[in-house]
Structure 1
Amino acid sequence: MHKRLAFCFIVLVCWSFSFAAQAQQVDHDQLIADIKYLASEELEGRKPLSEGSLKARKYIKERFQSLGLTSQYTDYTQYFDFTNRRDGRTYQKAANIVGFIPGTETEKIIVIMGHYDHLGQRGEEMILGADDNASGTAAMMALAGYFAKNKPKHSMMFVALDAEEMGMQGARALVADFPFPLEQVRVNINMDMVSRNDDNELYAVGTHHYPFLKPSLERVAEGRLFPKLMFGHDVPGSGSQDWTNASDHAQFHQKGVPFIYFGVEDHPDYHTARDIFENIQPEFFKAAVDLILASLIAFDSDLLD
């Protein structure tokens, strides 16, 4: 009898841990479907103001609407103009797509973002940008889906940024026209290239500048081997190995807003026509987004005043 009770207890504990693990996962099927569509030839590489970019905007807005997200911007859209310093062209009505979930315990905000633009047509080649950065955009939508069902303590803003490849223009516009005082932002989470790495490594960049964020990440990473959460790439003076200003989080950092940038080291397909959906690593991608979700859940509790 005692052995039977002990066995039942072990089964119950294992089931509970399994249930808890499942509860802290994003919708993996939707995640893969999203990156596949965003990186498809139909979207033409999502260059700002292209037909493919407009389709990407529509897709993201419809997802936010289906999740019941609100926004501080009409139709979830923050329009902005900018001049590309490389070709001198002025782009009018580029667009960030912004969704919002109010917090249950504080008005402080966690901003979660990834840029949805890429390079588009380059000569005879279509540069589709699966890892860079359909992956970060799909991850952002997956996280929005999780927190739409599991209400966060902090308010959370989910942003698909435009024109990162043209000088972080979407992030510049967001920071310049942020709908709340920037002091309300506890941490900015940026995801840029999170769907593949041959060494099974995902970097969390920023803890050199904001060491108070590291204990939460270390706790999440403990015992987690797939992927391995790495730190670094944020030490001033380390040249190209310093990613502090490498992506959209830089615009928040320059205003003193703490950030964590999740990403992988460059691979041979970076900014080439080989960065396609077929070359992502789906199991790595799913596990990476689950790790980022666990980090967000930890920050949501640990950063309460």
Structure 2
Amino acid sequence: MIHVQRSLQGIYAGFALSLFLLFCGSKTNAQELPCLIHAADVQPHLNYLASPDRQGRDDWGKVEAREYIIKHFKSLGVKPLFDESYLQAIPEFGSQAEMPPVYGYNIGGFIEGTDPKLKDEWIIVNAHYDHLGVRGGKVFPGADDNASGVSMLLEVARHISESPGKRSVAFLSFDMEEHLLWGARWFLAHPPMEVESIKFCLTADMIGRSLGGLDIPTVFVLGGERSREAHAALEAATVPQGLEIAQLGVDVVGVRSDYGPFYYRRIPFLFFSTGEHPDYHTPQDTLERLDVEKVARVSTVMNQVAQSMANMPGEITWEGNPKPSLQEVESVNRVCVNLLNSGEDGSLELTNAQRFFVSQVKSKTDYILKSQRYSIEERKWLVRATQIMMLTIF
């Protein structure tokens, strides 16, 4: 069964690789890729969205952020997603009123697909734009959370507007993510298209820092285990120099952003994040502390995935019972190595108990990787161990 599974993965990877080479050029010349997104491309978006003038993108600052996103959609020829409007009103959470007050606005636009049949299927690219505003007289700029993701969204929209795919692509910037994912939940409950026609969701949230503030070049990607086609598109993407991809099953981390409602509806998805850090949800999440090059590199990979999925031949499927993947073992092992190394150089203080636990997890994952055997029971252990590390260290 293992050899059969790998053969099937190879077939899907071949599909995605062919698409990638067709739409994004040669894998051996990454600097020449038309899919490449540069720091200079995302910098203006970050400067505007994470500016103290936006007041943490709440109240009037959020209105200005909306206007900025819509302005760019219009300049790219991205059409309004909600009838003739780019805005979808979100009612107050839990209100029983016949005419509940508006609590926020999702922003949406789309590029229609070129294939007569596949254009009725939808790829969703999304990143929330709301943040925490001003609290206690201090501005929470939200540079990483989530001006970084919105910058990706605008640049991927630019690339796809220049070269539309076979499927239609909707670009969504959800509101109220910081309030129980209410914007994404409202969108899926009241979509402008049939939910069944949504074939894939690509989400970015916090793609410009690093897990725990560690000096690591990693972006974590969740969801590949739930769709062979999405996994193949990710595997086929050229990863820019200076970036590493670490794949994890969604249950290892849980639902942390707007991919959640899509996951619960069994819609294939990939979620990109560089992880929580000490400045998460603090006034220190500023532009000056953001790794703009990393935002651009992650955006480059996401752009390739979006284009591959928009042009993927055949059906995009959901894996209800994914098999354990050694890739997530490799990802957890890499985190352990980085934690232990960082503890030694003083960049992250681990207690003796934390160091012992991380060492044990590393030893166990070393054994699994050496044996190349990863059972369901071992995966249950890995999920628990990873969650304990996240709760006690980060």
Q: 1:22 aligns with which of 19, 33, 54?
A: 33
In structure 2, the partner of 1:219 is 236
Task: Find out whether 1:139 has 2:152 as its counterpart.
Answer: yes
Secondary structure in 1 matching 2:171:
strand
The answer on whether the counterparts of 2:26 and 2:33 sit within 8 Å (CA) in structure 1 is: no
Once residues 293 and 187 of structure 1 are traced to their aligned partners in structure 2, the CA distance between those partners, rounded to angstroms, is: 14
Amino acid at match of 1:165: E
The answer on whether the counterparts of 2:125 and 2:306 sit within 8 Å (CA) in structure 1 is: no
The answer on whether the counterparts of 1:98 and 1:160 sit within 8 Å (CA) in structure 2 is: yes
Q: After TM superposition, give the deviation of residue 117 of structure 1 in Å.
A: 0.2
Once residues 79 and 234 of structure 1 are traced to their aligned partners in structure 2, the CA distance between those partners, rounded to angstroms, is: 29
Secondary structure in 2 matching 1:164:
coil
Secondary structure in 1 matching 2:203:
strand
The answer on whether the counterparts of 1:53 and 1:117 sit within 8 Å (CA) in structure 2 is: yes
In structure 1, the partner of 2:295 is 285
Once residues 30 and 200 of structure 2 are traced to their aligned partners in structure 1, the CA distance between those partners, rounded to angstroms, is: 29
After TM superposition, the structure 1 = structure 2 runs for residues 226-245 of structure 1, keeping only pairs within 5 Å, are: 226-235=242-251, 238=252, 242-243=253-254, 245=255
The answer on whether the counterparts of 1:127 and 1:275 sit within 8 Å (CA) in structure 2 is: yes
Secondary structure in 1 matching 2:193:
coil
After TM superposition, the structure 1 = structure 2 runs for residues 191-206 of structure 1, keeping only pairs within 5 Å, are: 191-197=204-210, 198-206=215-223
Question: Which protein is richer in helix relative to its size?
Answer: 2
Once residues 252 and 218 of structure 1 are traced to their aligned partners in structure 2, the CA distance between those partners, rounded to angstroms, is: 22
Secondary structure in 2 matching 1:26:
coil
Once residues 220 and 68 of structure 2 are traced to their aligned partners in structure 1, the CA distance between those partners, rounded to angstroms, is: 28
Secondary structure in 2 matching 1:165:
coil
The answer on whether the counterparts of 1:84 and 1:91 sit within 8 Å (CA) in structure 2 is: no
The answer on whether the counterparts of 1:35 and 1:135 sit within 8 Å (CA) in structure 2 is: yes
- Cα–Cα, structure 1 residues 120 and 17, in superposed 2: closer, same or farther, change >3 Å? same
Q: After TM superposition, give the deviation of residue 211 of structure 1 in Å.
A: 4.1
Once residues 110 and 226 of structure 2 are traced to their aligned partners in structure 1, the CA distance between those partners, rounded to angstroms, is: 27
In structure 1, the partner of 2:80 is 71
Task: Find out whether 1:56 has 2:65 as its counterpart.
Answer: yes
In structure 2, the partner of 1:167 is 180
The answer on whether the counterparts of 1:82 and 1:169 sit within 8 Å (CA) in structure 2 is: no
Unaligned runs of at least 5 residues, structure 1: 1-13
Once residues 216 and 291 of structure 1 are traced to their aligned partners in structure 2, the CA distance between those partners, rounded to angstroms, is: 10
Once residues 161 and 80 of structure 1 are traced to their aligned partners in structure 2, the CA distance between those partners, rounded to angstroms, is: 10
Give the TM-score of the pair, scaled to structure 2.
0.66
Deviations for 1:154-198, whole angstroms, at most 9, x for unmatched residues? Answer: 100000110100111110111011111111111101110111223
In structure 2, the partner of 1:177 is 190
Q: What value does the CA root-mean-square deviation take over the aligned residues? A: 2.3
In structure 2, the partner of 1:4 is none
Question: Which protein is richer in strand relative to its size?
Answer: 1
Query: Which of 71-80 and 264-273 deviates more?
Result: 71-80
Secondary structure in 2 matching 1:172:
helix
In structure 2, the partner of 1:33 is 44
Amino acid at match of 1:283: E
Once residues 292 and 27 of structure 2 are traced to their aligned partners in structure 1, the CA distance between those partners, rounded to angstroms, is: 26
Amino acid at match of 2:69: I
